[in-house]
Amino acid sequence: MKIVIVGAGKVGKTIGVKLTAEEHDVVLIDSDAAVLERSANEMDAICMEGNGADYRVQREAGVAQADLLIAVTAHDEVNMICCLIAHKLGAKRTIARIRDPEYAAQLDFLKDELGLSMSINPDQAASDDIARLLRIPSALNVEFFARGRVELVELRLNPGNPLVDLPLVDIYKKFQIKILVCAVQRGESVYIPKGDFVLQAGDKLHVSASPEDMSRFLRMAYPGKQRKVRTVMICGGSRIAYYLSRSLEKVGIQVKVIENNPVRAKQLSEDLPQALVIQGDSTDHELLIEEGIENVDAFVALTGIDENNIISGLFAKWKQAHSVIVKVNNENLLGVLPDSSLDAIISPKQLTANKILTFVRAMSGSPEGSNVETVHELLGGRIEALEFSAKGSHPMYGVPLKDLNRHLHNDLLIACIVRHGKTIVPSGSDSIHAGDRVIIVTKHKMFNDLSEILTSPLS
């Protein structure tokens, strides 16, 4: 596919790297020559210097023949204009990053006028992710599939956990709950485990189940971690902080926001009347103690500086905050952290890139095929979890998984099947039917259709 990206910042570069790795023809437009030069060293893309909101630049970039234009500059207005021009020039589809809450509220009205196929609000997406993590305090990460009917939860296995030294095949015998361990990271190694795999302390697990079964499982496997979050301290008055505070207020959670900029702090206090907004430096540890960091159920660091978020998060952890979540966009910083030093880390740019990758994968599939509905990268991108809709007809439909397994790629697991709203954690006697939602976990990349999970035809 031919894809034009306007904006070579953090998000644009991340998307470009992912799409060129999947062998799409990418043109990257930015007005900063130095940024383009750095991007050219990281991806096999055509880099054009210029204003992406200028129709002459878009015409020169071949937008009229493009399958997709993605506008992810730092300015919502520029992104919308880029998509409008691309739509007029003939681009098949357009995606805009739109972050301002006022624009986000008008998107239903603006979408058709701008010719938008999709809009992305990375701040809202990050807020939603954090809210899910606060609901499951033992989780390192939570992903949803099949419109929330399947949860994929990342967990750390600490010494003394009842799962330690347990073969996977015995989990159901012990807990009587239908869950599936889909992926395990042990040190530097990553596994798609089979039933005889024995769990060890220090492992990171990805577990799939329905939300109801997941809650029951976590109460039994992590009994001390499932306390209800009632108070949250947020450092940094960013847009993510605004969306998150508004979301938490709706469910009765007390929110305290610490923001250094007095103008922004005043604006937040007006926009979030139920939250307590403190104007102050969130890296000032004395201030954090004064404001009760030792007594909050959760601490969330959302400033615009990754290093400050990490330092504040480590301090909160030291002060026994029960759940510590930090925003970090620069993955290189994570390599210096001890593995268990923070409870969870979110990256808005990765969330945005994954949403766009899902859209592109769905476009790449055949119209009658079982297209990708959702893509999530796990364990630093070494594993993918994908949701397919099982469309049309295929010889694999109706075949028991115990017979299908020999035709599947190695390092691939069918994690869940959703049929008529019911979540099935599959056994060997289950099978895929037309109309199902099928979630797979795999080390392989670039699957665009459910049929690609097979290595050989069914006889």
Give pLDDT tens digits for 255-287.
Answer: 999 999 999 999 999 999 999 999 999 889 999
Q: What whole-number percentage of the chain has pLDDT above 70? A: 95
Distance of CA 373 to the CA centre of its chain: 14
Per-residue confidence band for 372, with pLDDT thresholds at 50, 70 and 90: confident
Average pLDDT across the chain, whole number = 90
Residues 44, 86, single domain; the answer is: yes
pLDDT value, residue 365? 63
Q: Which is nearest to 439 in space by CA: 370, 393, 382?
A: 370
Residues 380, 446, single domain; the answer is: yes
Residues 237, 342, single domain; the answer is: yes
- Give the C-alpha separation, 138 to 227, whole Å: 9
Residues 39, 74, single domain; the answer is: yes
* pLDDT score of 158 more than 80: yes
Q: Is residue 355 part of a domain?
A: no
Tokens of 398: 């109706």
Residues 174, 239, single domain; the answer is: no
Q: Is residue 9 part of a domain?
A: yes
The answer to whether 307 and 330 are in contact (CB under 8 A) is no
Residues 50, 135, single domain; the answer is: no
Among 293, 324, 346, where does a domain finish? 346
Least confident range from 166-170, 344-348, 378-382: namely 378-382
Residues 31, 94, single domain; the answer is: yes
Per-residue confidence band for 370, with pLDDT thresholds at 50, 70 and 90: low
| pLDDT tens-digit map of 26-85 | 999 999 999 999 999 999 999 999 999 999 999 999 999 999 999 999 999 999 999 999
- Give the C-alpha separation, 341 to 358, whole Å: 31
Q: Is residue 30 part of a domain?
A: yes
Residues 89, 130, single domain; the answer is: no
From the CB of residue 187, how many other CB atoms can be counted at a distance below 10 Å?
10
Q: Is residue 354 part of a domain?
A: no
Residue 421 sits in a domain whose CATH number is: 3.30.70.1450
Domain limits for position 412: 360-453
Residues 285, 365, single domain; the answer is: no
Tokens of 51: 């204003």
The residue among 130 and 357 whose pLDDT is bigger is 130
Q: Is residue 459 part of a domain?
A: no
- Region 424-432: what's the mean pLDDT? 94
Residues 85, 189, single domain; the answer is: no
pLDDT value, residue 334? 66
Phi, psi of 454 (to 5 degrees): -90, 140
pLDDT value, residue 336? 64
Tokens of 78: 């520029």
pLDDT value, residue 383? 92
Per-residue confidence band for 387, with pLDDT thresholds at 50, 70 and 90: very high
pLDDT value, residue 458? 79
Q: Is 379 helix (H, G, I), strand (E, B) or coil?
A: helix
Phi, psi of 440 (to 5 degrees): -120, 150
Per-residue confidence band for 409, with pLDDT thresholds at 50, 70 and 90: very high
- State how far the alpha carbon of 268 is from the alpha carbons of 274, 298, 361, in Å: 10, 20, 38
Per-residue confidence band for 377, with pLDDT thresholds at 50, 70 and 90: confident
- Give the C-alpha separation, 441 to 383, whole Å: 7
Among 282, 313, 346, where does a domain finish? 346
Sheet architecture: strand order including 46-49: 46-49, 25-30, 2-6, 68-71, 93-97, 118-120
pLDDT value, residue 343? 84
The count of domains in the chain is 4
pLDDT value, residue 277? 96
The reported pTM is 0.81
pLDDT value, residue 399? 94
The answer to whether 3 and 70 are in contact (CB under 8 A) is yes
pLDDT value, residue 367? 58
Q: Is residue 396 part of a domain?
A: yes
The answer to whether 451 and 397 are in contact (CB under 8 A) is no
Among 94, 120, 146, where does a domain finish? 120
pLDDT value, residue 193? 93
Residues 342, 371, single domain; the answer is: no
pLDDT value, residue 340? 60
Q: Is residue 371 part of a domain?
A: yes
pLDDT value, residue 260? 95
Phi, psi of 280 (to 5 degrees): 180, 175
Strand locations in 175-330 (E): 180-186, 189-191, 204-209, 231-235, 254-259, 276-279, 298-301, 323-327
Q: Quick one: the chain helix, strand, coil %, rounded to 5? A: 40, 25, 35
pLDDT value, residue 344? 87
Strand locations in 217-259 (E): 231-235, 254-259
Polymer length of the chain: 459
**Contact partners, residue 32, CB within 8 Å, separation at least 6:** 8, 49
Q: Is 430 helix (H, G, I), strand (E, B) or coil?
A: coil
Residues 204, 293, single domain; the answer is: no
- Region 216-221: what's the mean pLDDT? 91
End-to-end CA distance of the chain: 33
The answer to whether 140 and 155 are in contact (CB under 8 A) is yes
Residue 67 sits in a domain whose CATH number is: 3.40.50.720
